[in-house]
Structure 1
Amino acid sequence: MCSELTTDVLIVGGGPTGLMAANELLRQGIDFQIIEKRTKPSQQSRALAIQPRTLETLDQMGLVDRFIKQGFPSPGAKLHFEGTPLAKIEWSHLQTHFPYLMVLPQSKTETILENHLVEQGGSVKRKWEFSHLSIRDGYVHVTAIDPNQREKTMIARYLLACDGAHSPVRKDLNIPFSGEGENTTFFLGDVQVNGLDSTYINVFLTERGLAAFFPFKEEHYRVITVDFSKQHFPHQDALSLVELQESVDRIIPHQFELTDPQWLTQFGTAHRQVPSYRYGPVFFLGDAAHIHNPAGGQGMNLGIQDAANLTWKLALVLSGKGHPDILDTFHTERHPIAEATLKGTSRALKALTIKPPWTKVRNWLGRSVLTSQTMQDKILNQISNLAVHYRSTPHAEKGLDPLISSSALCAGDRVPDLIFLNNNHSTIRLFELLRKPRFLCLYYMEELNASHLSEVMDTIHTLESHFKDQLSSFIISKGGTRKLFKDLPAMLFDVHGEVPSKLGMKMGHLLVIRPDGYVAFHLSSWKSEPALEKINLWLKEQATV
């Protein structure tokens, strides 16, 4: 006998991507179910790096402090070529409140996300395994096996496939996963390293391979090697400490002793991607949508950002406040980001594993590039995901205002965190305002006066009457007559002068920020007519994009 469960969104897979999606849907007030065949969160570290942009996203959720408390903030990386220090790459130059790489095992990331989900009233259906699905009348009908080995039918408006590189959902739908293997075998171990005491990531490149050391908080290191003498053999998961030690010694002879292994494995890599992230009511996120090698520590971050991008759009549609075609922007925004990551990580792996006689050329070019601060900043902004933007997508281009300076933030750009004083003269950050899952409307004037305030209030009243609880409005000013702002609760003071310099806003501008922290649009006028038109672009007229 097969019983039925109904929900708005069914998430298949309880890894970091699925748990992020569940938390965001819960924050948006959307009914969901999440199923996971494992009995508990991952006990292996797997993904390790949390990039600055992901930390910003977690900050907007109010969760970042939990990750910082349990993680290890690595300030940068040291690269060594043939035993000679080549370059020290510093994250501190990044323009963010989190200018470091947070090293945290995936097991802890999953635990933090699941604990928060439970605290907020959600849960993961563990020991539930996806079997197959069908799509009928616009709904997804999923057959799953529950912990008692009984078949259950789950019916959902939408399904999020967050079920990993070997996605059963993707296979059941016969979705292509295009790409190829990279024919590289990696050895991996979480171990103590005697002879190395560094807060930096250390990468050693020699004619015999590469060895990388990532510091954990608990005095262990993640050690990864690509040993040229161990390539082109069938690899398996099993790896001994002796084999890893021999590999390290071959690459950098007799410098470090490895002890106390917590986890040992070996693996190969490939770069693959689904052609479309949306198939009707089914969406692919994280490793189910894209896989690549571990260069740059991107994988888990891509999945978490996929979830942050999609969930607020689902919430708009399911609440009847957004046009269903807004969901197509998940593919148009996120597919190119992963595609570029696949290409970038493939190029990086080829450069890192180049063999003699070309290693000397690689070392010379690497020294030239990585000792340039300008080039370091460019590379790190890409790796940190701070440079990710959606401005080239059709809907973002349609939202551009030709009167806005090209140096100002425009539709699709990431919004940096800013510090304000509120009307009570208390410090408040922009990311704190984004913790309410809605659009954020910022109106900027250098100094309050009665005439400008009347115009702004007219627009605020117009927008709020049309969109009600879908947006929050704030007037930003350097100052003004106290009698004008004393009764305005939504007042922010730009005491650091960051709004013109970091957002590019000028007198009379209106900036609307999406719930995921990217610009919806930036207007040169705060009058209500153009603002209504642009908000409708996101909420009601996506079919015209």
Structure 2
Amino acid sequence: MIVGAGPVGLLLANLLQKWGVSFRLIDKNAGPSTATTSRVVHSRTLEMLRHLGVAEQAVSNGFMLKQFSLQANGKRVPNDNFSYLDACYPFLLSLPASTLEQILLERLDASGLGVEWNTELVELQNQPQSVQMLLHHADGRDERLSARWMVACDGAHRRIATSQPRRVQALQHDAVFLAGDSAPIGHPLADQAINLGMGEAYNLAWKIAYVDQGLAAPALLQSYNEECYPAGLRAESMVHRVLVWLRDNILPLLGDWRPLQRTLASMICAHHYRYGKSAGIQESLTNKQRAHWNKKGRKSQFPTAAPRAGQLAPDIELWQPPGTPPRRLMDLFQGTFTLLVFSAADQFSSLLPGYYALADAVQTDYPGIKAYCVIDALGSAGAPFQHSTLLDPDWRLHKRYHARAGTLMLIRPDGYIAFQGLDITTLMTYLHVRSGLIKVNKKATSSENDLTVLPI
């Protein structure tokens, strides 16, 4: 049960629909919002909308704030020529609140689902493994029902099993979850609250999907509060108040001071949020192992820090053979864990069979993981599993991830790095003990594994 059909509830509903989770979405209002107030949509939020296929629609209906309309190469991008895929760094988009909701509502309606308007949650009994509810409909009819989980996304009007303010409460109470903040329109942190709430919905959606479909244990859901509650505290901190004030009052006066513009956009846009202290995150690289390396004496073309577990995985356009459509790394993460096995070797290396065996073993044992071997080759012909190969002949992916031979990078469905290391045994221990993923008992043959269709 999803309570509240604002941007947060609609995003959650769309994600659950995409990943095959049944739900009901109710709202006590008569229909969608008609507010014309503009919202500032963060680039991280657009990444979430991209996974639903509606990011370009959002961009075409809004406009980028001028102080952030820069590409990674430093050139300004006219709004009418802007493509979401051109955004290689954080930026901000101004979009009417009603338009954002309408985009999400139209996508949900197109799937044959929709919002139950004029329906109010009037009674709630929260239990460890279910929620008993009483709904009141506009025609005066009352309905009692049970749901496995309930997510309250109705902001300031939510009716939950606690009356304490958001800043001193958890985001999970047994089978009830809270998503989205209660900052009203016009509040200095209203935009930050909406984007933060949509991030919470995205964090929760894939975990519900994995548990619902038997790919992960219910304990995985406990990480939602652990990861999102600290982020909520940061959003209400004085630091963010200062950042938002700087954005609105100082940046317009800075003109072309690009380094500060990019830094401030990144801090506001939630790309810097880290889940490093989450129980489901494991960093198994030493500082020496993370040190920058060169290939044949040439420095990396990406002058960026090596990514760490708990951070968002850097996106990059993947190398593709001439004449094939472009593909981005972030598109691999949609709806599944992704294991990248960096070989730092070409297709003739004697090490490749071992790397492919690892990738195949992980996929066979854990249906919720899709594994790829990253190899230095122009084609996958002759590779043990062509569908599990990422071509990297110019080493752009190796360099961006500062990956030496044997680097293992496990990335969650929401794009966060869950594990990185160099030791296979450590990875297997992590999967068994800390990941929350369920290991299947029956081993599938390679041919059977090729035919497996994951539910999400």
TM-score, scaled to structure 2: 0.80
Q: Does 1:387 pair with 2:272?
A: yes
- 98-107 or 289-298, which deviates more: 289-298
What is aligned with 1:401? 285
Q: Does 1:418 pair with 2:409?
A: no
What is aligned with 1:175? 163
Taking the TM superposition and a 5 Å limit, the aligned residue runs for 1:280-359 are 280-288=174-182, 293-295=187-189, 297-343=191-237, 344-347=239-242
Q: Does 1:472 pair with 2:370?
A: yes
CA distance in structure 1 between the aligned counterparts of 2:244 and 2:47, rounded to whole angstroms: 27
Are 1:389 and 1:412, in contact at CA under 8 Å, matched by a contact in 2? yes
2:314 is paired with a residue whose SS is coil
Are 1:286 and 1:306, in contact at CA under 8 Å, matched by a contact in 2? yes
What is aligned with 2:453? none
The 1:64–1:352 alpha-carbon spacing in structure 2 relative to 1, beyond 3 Å, is: closer
What is aligned with 1:456? 355
What is aligned with 1:189? none
Per the TM alignment, residue 414 of structure 1 is displaced from its structure 2 partner at its CA by 0.6
CA distance in structure 2 between the aligned counterparts of 1:104 and 1:477, rounded to whole angstroms: 41
CA distance in structure 2 between the aligned counterparts of 1:530 and 1:380, rounded to whole angstroms: 36
Matching residue within 90, 110, 125 for 1:119: 110
What is aligned with 2:3? 12
CA distance in structure 1 between the aligned counterparts of 2:100 and 2:252, rounded to whole angstroms: 35
Per the TM alignment, residue 331 of structure 1 is displaced from its structure 2 partner at its CA by 1.2
Q: Does 1:139 pair with 2:34?
A: no
The 1:20–1:351 alpha-carbon spacing in structure 2 relative to 1, beyond 3 Å, is: closer
Taking the TM superposition and a 5 Å limit, the aligned residue runs for 1:131-530 are 131-136=122-127, 138-169=129-160, 173-177=161-165, 273-288=167-182, 293-295=187-189, 297-343=191-237, 344-347=239-242, 373-396=258-281, 398-402=282-286, 404-405=289-290, 407-422=305-320, 426=324, 427-435=326-334, 437-446=335-344, 447-468=346-367, 470-479=368-377, 483-485=381-383, 488-494=386-392, 497-525=395-423, 527=424, 529-530=425-426
Unaligned runs of 5+ residues in structure 1 are: 1-9, 77-88, 178-271, 354-361
Q: Does 1:539 pair with 2:436?
A: yes
**Aligned AA for 1:176?**
Q
The 1:345–1:298 alpha-carbon spacing in structure 2 relative to 1, beyond 3 Å, is: same
The 1:47–1:11 alpha-carbon spacing in structure 2 relative to 1, beyond 3 Å, is: farther
Greater strand share, structure number: 1
Larger Rg: 1
Unaligned runs of 5+ residues in structure 2 are: 75-85, 292-304, 439-456
Taking the TM superposition and a 5 Å limit, the aligned residue runs for 1:99-114 are 99-114=90-105
CA distance in structure 1 between the aligned counterparts of 2:244 and 2:330, rounded to whole angstroms: 35
Deviations 1:309-358 (A, max 9, x none): 011111122222212221121111111112111113434578899xxxxx
Per the TM alignment, residue 486 of structure 1 is displaced from its structure 2 partner at its CA by 8.8
CA distance in structure 1 between the aligned counterparts of 2:427 and 2:323, rounded to whole angstroms: 29
Per the TM alignment, residue 51 of structure 1 is displaced from its structure 2 partner at its CA by 0.6
CA distance in structure 1 between the aligned counterparts of 2:279 and 2:152, rounded to whole angstroms: 25
Are 2:380 and 2:389, in contact at CA under 8 Å, matched by a contact in 1? no
Per the TM alignment, residue 33 of structure 1 is displaced from its structure 2 partner at its CA by 0.8
Are 1:511 and 1:523, in contact at CA under 8 Å, matched by a contact in 2? yes
Are 1:332 and 1:393, in contact at CA under 8 Å, matched by a contact in 2? yes
2:34 is paired with a residue whose SS is coil
Are 1:369 and 1:375, in contact at CA under 8 Å, matched by a contact in 2? no
- RMSD across aligned positions (CA): 3.1
Are 1:67 and 1:112, in contact at CA under 8 Å, matched by a contact in 2? yes
The 1:164–1:457 alpha-carbon spacing in structure 2 relative to 1, beyond 3 Å, is: same
The 1:422–1:278 alpha-carbon spacing in structure 2 relative to 1, beyond 3 Å, is: same
**Aligned AA for 2:111?**
Q
CA distance in structure 1 between the aligned counterparts of 2:95 and 2:306, rounded to whole angstroms: 34
Per the TM alignment, residue 98 of structure 1 is displaced from its structure 2 partner at its CA by 6.2
CA distance in structure 2 between the aligned counterparts of 1:511 and 1:149, rounded to whole angstroms: 54
CA distance in structure 2 between the aligned counterparts of 1:462 and 1:68, rounded to whole angstroms: 41
Are 2:181 and 2:193, in contact at CA under 8 Å, matched by a contact in 1? yes
1:401 is paired with a residue whose SS is coil
CA distance in structure 2 between the aligned counterparts of 1:320 and 1:290, rounded to whole angstroms: 38
Per the TM alignment, residue 47 of structure 1 is displaced from its structure 2 partner at its CA by 5.4
Are 1:91 and 1:101, in contact at CA under 8 Å, matched by a contact in 2? no
The 1:166–1:374 alpha-carbon spacing in structure 2 relative to 1, beyond 3 Å, is: same
The 1:491–1:428 alpha-carbon spacing in structure 2 relative to 1, beyond 3 Å, is: same
Per the TM alignment, residue 387 of structure 1 is displaced from its structure 2 partner at its CA by 1.5
Per the TM alignment, residue 418 of structure 1 is displaced from its structure 2 partner at its CA by 1.3
2:386 is paired with a residue whose SS is coil
